[in-house]
Amino acid sequence: MDLKEEKPEKAHGAGPDAEARSPGEAARDDNIDIEKAAQSNVGSAHSELTLEEGTSADKDKEQHDSEDPNIVDWDGPDDPQNPMNWPAKKKWGVIAVLSLVTLITPLGSSFFAPGVPQVMSAFHEKSNLLAALVVSVYVLGFAIGPIIIAPLSELYGRSPVYNGSNVLFVVFTIACAVSTNMNMLIAFRFLAGCAGAAPLTIGGGTLADIMPREKRAGAMAIWALGPLLGPVLGPICGGFLTQAKGWRWVFYVLAIFSGFFSLLLFFTARETYAPVLLARKAARLRKETGNQNLRSIMDDNTPPREVFLRSIVRPMKMLFFSPIVFLMSLYVAVNYGILYLLFTTITFVFEDQYHFSAGSIGLSFLGTGIGMLAGMMVLGVMSDKIIKKHMAKGNVKPEHRLPFILTLPGGIALPIGIFVYGWTADKHVHWVVPIIGTAFIGLGNLSSMMTIQTYLVDAFTLHAASAIAANTILRSVFGAVLPLCGLSMFDKLGLGWGNSLLGFLSLALIPVPVIFRVYGEKIRTNPKFQVKF
């Protein structure tokens, strides 16, 4: 990190201007409050916590910290080293490059899906289960990777984790390209998925580090396109590439683009995690001044090993013991699993039912992509407008990320799309109609994923990476497991009733975001639902 030299007397940032708080300082103070609340009740942590809502012990500690000359803080409310105060151009540059990296890793999940028949033929395999596994095992890696990635990012910062994971992703992708048997290919696909989970896991945390609440949804919309649009673009490009060059070149192309975007991220992005930045600042000041008592305002003297172990446990505790994280993650996971089941089976449906060629099969994914783009444009604009409206009234809270006008249309669009796609394909209706159905599926998936992830980031700002990791773990498990039973399910039930089963499941989950829009604040602040670490 390139940080300006600070004078020791400014270490704690408690100058005469400490009362005039900019949005950047306010966000930092919010994070400190969240950190304190998280020690006893992560379920209630959100960016609007104030000292009045904390305990008297919290108040005494903050007052002591503000008067302690050994506490290292930002240099006033407009400190340019605070990521919240970075110029807009720098922030959006980081988001743009991060979005490209976040596009590539999900792209790998389905890029060679049209080439699966070639893979099966090359390795002399005939099992439908293996055909689905070679695609979905990559997504299983998305479930395992966050368990290590999230705590590493909270211990060492975002940048080292991004850069290390990107290198591993390129290496494992090349290993997939040179695989000589199915077992080798499946193993390296899994490892590539583990490494590729980094931008999915901590990308939301990076956005929380640098973007104020009123601009977060727009940034989240751009970033969220990767996890959803990547798997859609993959088969479109992969179909023609596989037909022209064979399945191995799918991995070579993926490695080339991943390497290029990884280099862009390495040279353009800077560390954004405030606790790590302040810890580095404190370490530098200790070296410059010889005062070994200097410490970050966010440092609670917990040993790194304990921090790491606690950070490994935190996503799983949030997933299983926070009703907000569990139910919201379950809602996204079911929708995501349905989407990946669609990605796994759509090749066979349009090849068998509509006799598409290997190249043109990829075009059948266009409907899903168009639905996602439409959802992104609407949600990205409307969500931030709603937040700004509430900010003007002075009563903004995380639940305002779940307005009925956004959650209900998206929730209803998904089952509608599933029913239309399933029954029209079953009855051999013209191919354009099931593709229109997939557009509704894309719209519903983006709506649920974007609104819920933005809500989780706002509700768990400092530990946003852990909340998103919990979400990523569960949805990746569903994304990996559901496709394994997809072909067998459709063989037994047919496309009509098989998809109807999925449609009824998504219908049953529509009330989840509605419940948290109405009762979310009460649940977050209820001691019975608070998670202790």
pLDDT at site 46 = 31
Q: What is the pLDDT of residue 20?
A: 37
Evaluate whether 408 touches 510 at the Cβ level (below 8 Å).
Answer: yes
Residues 355 and 437 in one domain: yes
Q: Hey, what long-range contacts does 355-360 have (CB within 8 A, 24 or more apart)?
A: 356/431, 357/243, 358/114, 358/115, 358/117, 358/239, 358/242, 358/243, 359/114, 359/239, 359/240, 359/242, 359/243, 359/244, 360/239
* Containing structural domain, residue 490: 83-271+315-529
525 and 416 belong to one structural domain: yes
Residue 491 tokens, joined = 């063989």
Question: Does 353 share its domain with 433?
Answer: yes
Same domain, 73 and 115: no
The answer on 367 and 229 residing in a single domain is yes
How far CA 285 is from CA of 16, 71, 190, in Å, comes to 22, 11, 43
Whether residue 103 is found in the same domain as residue 204: yes
pLDDT in the model for residue 45:
30
Domain assignment of residue 20, yes or no = yes
296: β partners = 72
pLDDT of 414: 93
Q: Are residues 96 and 230 in the same domain?
A: yes
Residue 189 lies in a domain: yes
The type of residue at 420 is V
Residue 3 lies in a domain: no
Return the number of other C-beta atoms located less than 10 Å from residue 278's C-beta: 23
Residue 468 CB burial class (10 angstroms; 0-12, 13-18, ≥19) = buried
Same domain, yes or no: 180 and 50: no
Give the separation between CA 384 and CA 24, rounded to whole angstroms: 18
Q: Are residues 411 and 446 in the same domain?
A: yes
214-227: b or e for each residue (b if 16 or more CB lie within 10 Å)? bbbbbbbbbbbbbb
- Report the CATH number that the domain containing residue 467 is assigned in CATH: 1.20.1250.20
In angstroms, rounded to a whole number, what is the distance separating the alpha carbons of residues 226 and 232? 10
If you ran DSSP here, which 8-state letter would residue 272 be given?
-
* Separation CA 228–CA 340 (nearest Å): 10
The answer as to whether 307 is a domain residue is no
Which of 263, 297, 331 lies at the terminal end of a domain, its last residue?
297
Pairing of the two strands 71-72 and 295-296: parallel
Residue-level pLDDT at 23: 36
- 110 and 187 share one domain: yes
Is there a domain that residue 384 lies in? yes
- N-terminal to C-terminal alpha carbon distance within the chain: 31
Residue 443 maps to a domain: yes
The CA–CA distances, whole Å, from 183 to 121, 128, 158, 180 equal: 14, 15, 33, 9
Query: How many domains, the chain?
Result: 2
∠ CA 107-112-114 to the nearest 5 degrees? 120
Residue type at position 70: N
Residue 308 CB coordination number (10 Å):
17
Residue 308 lies in a domain: no
pLDDT in tens, the chain (533 residues): 333 333 444 444 433 333 333 334 444 444 333 333 333 332 333 333 222 233 334 444 444 445 678 898 898 888 999 999 999 899 999 998 998 898 898 888 878 777 888 898 899 888 878 888 888 889 889 888 888 888 888 788 999 999 999 999 999 999 999 999 999 999 999 999 999 999 988 888 898 889 887 777 778 777 877 776 777 777 777 878 888 888 899 999 999 999 999 999 999 888 999 989 999 999 999 999 998 888 888 887 778 788 788 778 888 888 888 889 999 999 999 998 888 788 777 877 888 888 887 667 777 888 888 888 888 788 877 877 888 888 888 778 888 888 888 888 889 999 999 999 999 999 999 999 999 999 999 899 888 888 888 888 788 776 776 787 788 889 888 888 888 877 788 888 988 999 999 999 999 999 999 999 998 888 877 777 766 65
| 258 in any annotated domain | yes
Query: Residue 330 class from Cβ within 10 Å (0-12 exposed, 13-18 middle, 19+ buried)?
Result: middle
Q: What is the pLDDT of residue 330?
A: 93
- DSSP codes of every residue in 312-356: HHHHHHHHHH-HHHHHHHHHHHHHHHHHHHHHHHHHHHHHHTS--
User: Which pLDDT does position 359 carry in this prediction?
Assistant: 67
- 88 and 77 in a single domain? The answer is no
CA distance 321 to 467: 12
- H/E element holding 295? strand 295-296
3-state secondary structure 126-157: CCHHHHHHHHHHHHHHHHHHHHHHHHHHHHHC
Same domain, 364 and 378: yes
Label residue 428 left, alpha or beta by phi (over 0 means left) and psi (-120 to 50 means alpha): left
